[in-house]
Structure formats: C-alpha cells, structure tokens
Amino acid sequence: MPGQNDFLVHLPDKPDMLATRMSQIAAHLSHNKPLLEAGSLILSGPTLTGHPSDPTQGLPITGSVLIFRTGTAEEVWEMLAADPLAKTGVWDMEKATVTPYRCGLWKPY
C-alpha cells in the first residue's frame, strides 16, 4: 500500500510480570485481532530466554516482538499504548523500541 511503512517493535517485559502477562493474554489477542485483519499488524510473538527442552514447561517469556505496517512510527506508538499489555504495565514502555524496517527476504509458512 502506498504511504505504508514497516516497523520492527521490541517491548521488554518489566520484571516479575509473568502472572499479569498471562492474565492479559486473551485481552491482548482480542485487541490485536482487528489490527491483524486490517493489515496494520503483520506478526507478533513473545521473546524468550531460550526454547524449553520440555514442551510441557511454560515459555520463559522476556517481552514481545511485533511488526507493524502503517504510515508513521507515531501510529505504532498509539497502537502499542492501547494494548492491554501496555495498559497493565507488563511491557516496559520506557525501554521499548520502534525501528523502521524493510523486509529483504520472506518465506510464508
């Protein structure tokens, strides 16, 4: 789309926020579904300290990574601020980064 730019977002979690994060997952997914359907959110997922060897273990989550496609970085910050993980203080917004990004190679699943 003309006038659209991609942005790579990294949002570290604040310490000791895993329980709050898990309590907000349904609201977080509901918030992001319309953004995904509209094409503003391209991908989203948690960052980890590592992949657990035991699949029954919980994920060692440290934050989130997202890719947005929108006009400006300011629009990205507005969408992030409205997310339940930001509103409940899970994400450390002072350490968050929104970086202009352009995909060079991509292979769909």
Q: What is the pLDDT, as a whole number, of residue 6?
A: 96
Asked if residue 2 has pLDDT above 70, the reply is no
Structure tokens at 55: 């699949």
Give the model's confidence band at 61: pLDDT under 50 very low, under 70 low, under 90 confident, else very high: very high
Asked if residue 108 has pLDDT above 90, the reply is no
Residue 34 located in a structural domain: yes
Question: Where would I find the beta strands (DSSP E) of 1-109?
Answer: 5-12, 41-48, 61-70, 97-101
Q: What is the pLDDT, as a whole number, of residue 53?
A: 87
The candidate with the shortest Cα–Cα distance to 43, out of 84, 10, 85, is 10
Total count of domains within the chain: 1
Residue 26 located in a structural domain: yes
Q: What is the pLDDT, as a whole number, of residue 1?
A: 54
Domain extent at residue 93: 5-49+60-101
Share of the chain above pLDDT 90, in %: 81
Cα separations in angstroms, 78 against 6, 29, 51, 83, 87:
15, 17, 31, 9, 12
Residue 108 located in a structural domain: no
The distance of Cα 44 from the centroid of its chain, to the nearest Å, equals 5
Residue 109 located in a structural domain: no
First to last CA, the chain: 22
Structure tokens at 25: 């997952």
Give the model's confidence band at 71: pLDDT under 50 very low, under 70 low, under 90 confident, else very high: very high
Q: What is the pLDDT, as a whole number, of residue 57?
A: 83
Residue 43 located in a structural domain: yes
- The CATH number covering residue 30 comes to 3.30.70.1060
Cα separations in angstroms, 55 against 8, 51, 74:
28, 9, 38
